Amino acid sequence: MKNLIKILTMAFIGGVMVSCEKDEDQAIINETAAGKISSDKTVLVLNELTANDAVINFTWTKPTFNIAVVPSQEIEFGIKGDGFKKSASVDFPNDVTSGPVTHAAMNAAMFSIGATPDVVNEIEARLKTSVGSAAFYSNVIALKVTPYTPNPDLVYPKINVPGSYAGAAGYANWTPANSPNLFSPEKNDKYRGFIWINTVSGPEDGKYKFSINQDWAGNKGDDGTNSGKLKLDGADIKAPAAGTYYIKVDWAANTYSSVPANFGIIGDATPTGWNSDTDFVYNPATKTFVINSIMLNSSGFFKFRANDGWTLKFQPKKTDETLISGKSVQAYFNAEDTVDGDPGYKVSETGNYKIELDLHNSAYYKLTITKL
């Protein structure tokens, strides 16, 4: 019994000592001198063509502490005046006191913190040094940064939709690395997007599955119930009819949905008014949906809707209602809750137009209208 009491007592003391030791570590780590950072330039115009080149070089002195530590270090960026509430960082090895940041890395950071592309943004940068859960910061330096619109194909997570339909759509049949993709704009393991299927007449036509990392490993198909459930190495999914489909996949929950989405243009700016649609035609060479020529008047509005109904439609943000010939703008899909109100498009000049709708990436649907 005495031995048992001794063991329990020692265990309790040991636990207290560990707890005190951890609290003591946190209490005695003090910064004796703050880090200081500088840069070789303060005005940056980022360029995608030189994405891998250095756009700025930082130099810093490390903070010092009253005990020996092995900290990690990164340069942190934030919008001026935001107090780094939304920030992005570029990591550096803990044994360096200077280093470059490339156009691509800086642009990714700017995109992450919500900087506006193609205009000058007031940005703040500082050295962040971490010791365990404790963070220490240097002085803040001011930068003027003009980011570019990042390529959404490289920014957002995606899964692949290989199938027997893909070759006719401008890709390659049953090839994950060369197939349409579904993207996750929210980066939350939920993917969505469009595919175009030219025929389902043959027993093997119009079939597809879902893969990830552009390979067959970990691919998913129907669980055999045809009820929107997925499983690893599941069965091929066959579209019920030819046409365009809007597909959503919850990769973690193993579910999917697929609905027809064949788009056309309608409105009082078009020759047929609000009475009927002029349909888009898919172009496998450009992998876009195209109306090669249509007369549009400048006094009316038009919209892009699917299946001759109003359940699914593409619309603009308010600033993009009036389209400029040759200028691409982002289009917004009402089924994704990205549109406020019920705005329509218009043109500033009456004439014949070519309209191209690029739906290959759900993170950035792109609309281009060109006066002929």
pLDDT digits (tens, 9 = 90+) for 168-178: 999 999 999 99
pLDDT digits (tens, 9 = 90+) for 252-308: 999 999 999 999 999 999 999 999 999 999 999 999 999 999 999 999 999 999 999
The domain 263-371 is placed in CATH, from the list 3.30.2170, 3.90.1200, 2.60.40, 1.10.8, at 2.60.40
pLDDT digits (tens, 9 = 90+) for 337-356: 998 889 999 999 999 999 99
Q: Taking 60 as the threshold, does the pLDDT of residue 1 lie above it?
A: no
pLDDT of residue 320: 84
Dihedral (CA of 330, 331, 333, 337) sign: positive
Instruction: Give the pLDDT mean for 4-32.
Output: 46
Q: How far apart are CA 326 and CA 309, in angstroms?
A: 28
> Distance between CA 219 and CA 213 in Å, rounded?
10
**CATH class of the structural domain 32-146:** mainly beta
DSSP helix/strand/coil, 133: coil
Average pLDDT, the chain: 91
230 versus 23: the higher-pLDDT residue is 230
| Residue 372: exposure state from Cβ atoms within 10 A (0-12, 13-18, ≥19) | exposed
**Is the separation of the CB atoms in 159 and 211 below 8 Å?**
yes
Q: For residue 223, which of 213, 214, 210 has the smallest C-alpha distance?
A: 210
* Whole-number pLDDT of residue 249: 98
d(C-alpha 158, C-alpha 280), whole Å = 26
Mean pLDDT in residue range 116-139: 95
Using the predicted structure, report yes or no on whether residue 17 has a pLDDT greater than 60: no
pLDDT at residue 341, rounded to an integer: 87
d(CA 347, CA 353): 10
- The whole-number pLDDT of residue 149 equals 86
pLDDT at position 321: 93
* pTM for this predicted structure: 0.76
In this structure, the chain runs to a length of: 372
pLDDT-based confidence at residue 14 (cuts at 50, 70, 90): very low
Average pLDDT over residues 107-136: 94
Q: Taking residues 362-366, what's their average pLDDT?
A: 96
Pinpoint the residues of the chain covered by CATH 2.60.40.10. Answer: 32-146
CB 221 within 8 A of CB 236: yes
What is the reported pLDDT for 194? Answer: 98
CATH of domain 152-260: 2.60.40
* Cβ pair 329, 366 in contact under 8 A: yes
Contact status, residue 114 vs residue 56, Cβ threshold 8 Å? no
Helices (H), 80-200: 103-113, 152-155
25: pLDDT strictly greater than 80: no
Instruction: Please identify which residue in the block is written with the tokens 């940064």.
Output: 145
Q: Which residues contact 340 (CB under 8 A, 6 or more apart)?
A: 317, 318
Q: What is the pLDDT of residues 321-335, one digit of tens each?
A: 999 999 999 999 999
Instruction: Please say if the pLDDT value at position 23 is more than 80.
Output: no
* Kind plus residue range of the DSSP H or E element containing 41: none
CA 8 to chain centroid, in Å, comes to: 55
Contact 73, 163 (CB under 8 A): no
Residues in contact with 12: Cβ distance below 8 Å, sequence separation at least 6, in sequence order: none
Helices (H), 187-298: none
Q: How confident is the model at residue 27 (pLDDT cuts 50, 70, 90)?
A: low
Q: 16-52 b/e with 16+ CB inside 10 Å = b?
A: eeeeeeeeeeeeebeeeeebebebeeeebebeeeebe
The larger pLDDT score, comparing residue 207 to residue 3, is at 207
Beta bridge partners of 281: 290
